[in-house]
Structures are given as structure tokens and as C-alpha cells.
Amino acid sequence: MTPFTLMNSTEEKPELTILHMSDLHFGPPLVLEVAEAALRSAHELKPDAIVVSGDLTQRATRDQFVAAQKFISRFPRVPVMVVPGNHDVPLYRVYQRLTKPHQLYREIIDDELNPTLQLDTAVIVGLDSTAPRSAITNGRIHAWQLNHCSKIFSDVPVDKVKIVVAHHHFAPAPDYLHDRTMPKSKRAIMRFVELDVDLILGGHLHRAYIGNTLDFYPGAHRERGIIIAQSGTTTSRRGRGREQEKNSFNVIKICKKTIQIAHYLYFNASHGFIPNSYHTFRRINQQLEQEKFDQSPGVRDTQ
């Protein structure tokens, strides 16, 4: 496997490396060879943290959750954040879906559906975007969850990166499939912009998209769009669009001035994941803070 090296590695060293997987789909769609390759990559890339953005299972059965948990237990010994996806609640077991939709997820994977991960250089807030009783496919983010984000991010210093993780997508992939976004996703994005969120991680689409919220929602703060990194399905045969029957994950390197993201694809010829594209973004919030400092009266007086 070809490692992800920084494009300007002589100038910047990563403060934090995050491996971002999604849509494992343990059950019939799982491709065992690809799952083993993903685990090899997880150890070879030496991430500081790992994020799995939902759909650990195909049909939310006990056996599938146990298999997914065993897979996660083989990750490197680093902090791991997992959030549920719509496939992690029962679809056809209607009574269970309406009464105890996350029972097995909470028992086997994590009792917390909206977890928070505090790291030295980042704060990551996970949001449960599943809506088992109303919008099982497209998901939903509620106002109380946005308030939850506000409470956590309010005291985060500017030198820390703020990251939101949810399974469902807040912005559509720019391709021919025309997937619908979550209801009130624009409201959520505008709130995240106000909170100076740097990065949104997600899945659900079964193909990668790496871009910016300004591609879809101009908003009131044109200089403060949020980077979006959607992962394709990392270990199943359910890829869609240009990643049909393909597998992918993202590697995110947080540097002092930039956020760099590599999109990895699995190639049969190499029996492993290889970087397919690279994306570099400025860390807007740090830049804005520096500009505020440079423009303050005290700084001008000393120049």
C-alpha cells in the first residue's frame, strides 16, 4: 500500500491523522478480502484516531453486530469514534424498530449514540442521524443535537479543529444520482458555520465526495465554508455511482495551516487500498483569527 505523504511535507507536519471509514455492512454484502485489507491499512497508516460513520451492519442482527465489533476490536489501539447508520436499526422487525431501534447497537457497539471524542488537537462530535420512526432512509438531525454541538464547541480554543460526524449526508454528491439530503440539512450547516466547525465526516452515499459546503449552500459567511469528506463503503460490495462495486476510505491529516485529505480506493490488482486523489484546504478559522490579531489596534501600534 502506498502511504499518504503530505504534499508540502517539508513545510508542515501533521498534528493529527484520522482514518475515516464508513458503511461496513457486515452481513451478506461484506467482502472479506477487502475487510482484511482495510485492517492492514489501518495498522500501516498509523492514524491517531479512527472514525466509522455508520452502517456497521446490513440488517442490524446480533450476529452482524458481533462481527462488526470484532472487526473494530482489531483496529490499532487509538481512540475510535463510531456513530450508527440507518442499517444499524431494524428495517423489517417493525415492532423492535419502533420501540427499541438501537437496542443491539447500544448493547454491542456503544451505549452512546451521540459520542464526543476529545483529542489534543481536535474535538469530534458524533451525531446519531438515524430516524427509525419517521425517515429511516434519509435520516434527520434534531434541534437538540445542534444545541448539543453548541454546548460542546462553545469553549473549544481556535487552535483545535472542530469536527462533526454523522452517517447521513448534509450535502448532495455532485453526480448523476441526485440523492436527497437530510431534511433541514441547510439549517444544520448554517449552525455549524456559526460554530466555526472545520470538517464534516459522513457516509451513506456509498461513494466518496470531498469538497466544501459553499459548493451547495452559499450562506451568510462566504469565507467560512465547511470541508465535507464523505467516505464510500469501505468493506461491502454496495458501492454506487462512480464507485459501483468499489471500496474506499479517507485519510485526513490536520496540519497547522491546512487540512489534507487523501481518498483511498481498493484495487484488486494490488489486493489493497491505494491513494486515488489528494485534496488540500486552508484552515480558515486559524487564518481568520490571525487576521483579527493583525488588525487589532495594539498590533498596529507596534508595527
> Residues 148-159: what's their mean pLDDT?
94
Residue 299's pLDDT is what?
A: 47
pLDDT digits (tens, 9 = 90+) for 67-102: 999 999 999 999 999 999 999 999 888 888 889 999
Q: Averaged over 174-190, what is the pLDDT?
A: 88
Lowest mean pLDDT segment, chosen from 22-31, 137-146, 173-182, 217-226: 217-226
Least confident stretch, 9-18, 32-41, 236-245: 9-18
Q: What is the largest CA-CA distance in the chain?
A: 69
Q: What is the pLDDT of residue 293?
A: 45
Q: What is the mean pLDDT of residues 113-131?
A: 97
Sheet of strand 116-118: strand arrangement = 116-118, 122-127, 161-166, 199-202, 227-230, 209-212
* pLDDT confidence of residue 91: 84
Note the pLDDT of residue 175.
83
Model pLDDT, residue 298: 55
CATH topology of domain 16-302: Purple Acid Phosphatase; chain A, domain 2 (3.60.21)
Q: What is residue 300's predicted lDDT score, i.e. its pLDDT?
A: 46
CB contact set of 36 (below 8 Å; sequence gap of 6+):
none
pLDDT at site 136: 73
Q: Report the distance separating Cα 196 and Cα 154, nearest Å.
A: 10
Of 39-43, 87-91, 129-133, 170-174, give the lowest mean pLDDT range.
170-174
Segment 220-241 shows an average pLDDT of: 90
- Predicted pLDDT of residue 238: 95
Residue 221 has pLDDT above 80, yes or no: no
**Residue ranges of the domains in the chain?**
16-302
**pLDDT tens digits for 156-166?**
998 999 999 99
- Quote the cell numbers at residue 86: 440507518
CA angle 172, 35, 23 (to 5 degrees): 25
pLDDT band at 218 (very low <50, low <70, confident <90, very high): confident
Return the top range by mean pLDDT from 8-22, 97-111, 277-291. 97-111
Edge-to-edge strand ranges of the sheet holding 272-282: 80-83, 49-53, 16-21, 248-254, 258-267, 272-282
Residue of 195, 182, 193 whose CA lies nearest to 219: 193
Within 13 A of 12's CA, how many CA atoms are on the CB side? Answer: 18
Q: Which residues contact 127 (CB under 8 A, 6 or more apart)?
A: 83, 114, 141, 145, 148, 149, 164, 165, 166
Please give the residue that has the higher pLDDT: either 63 or 133. Answer: 63
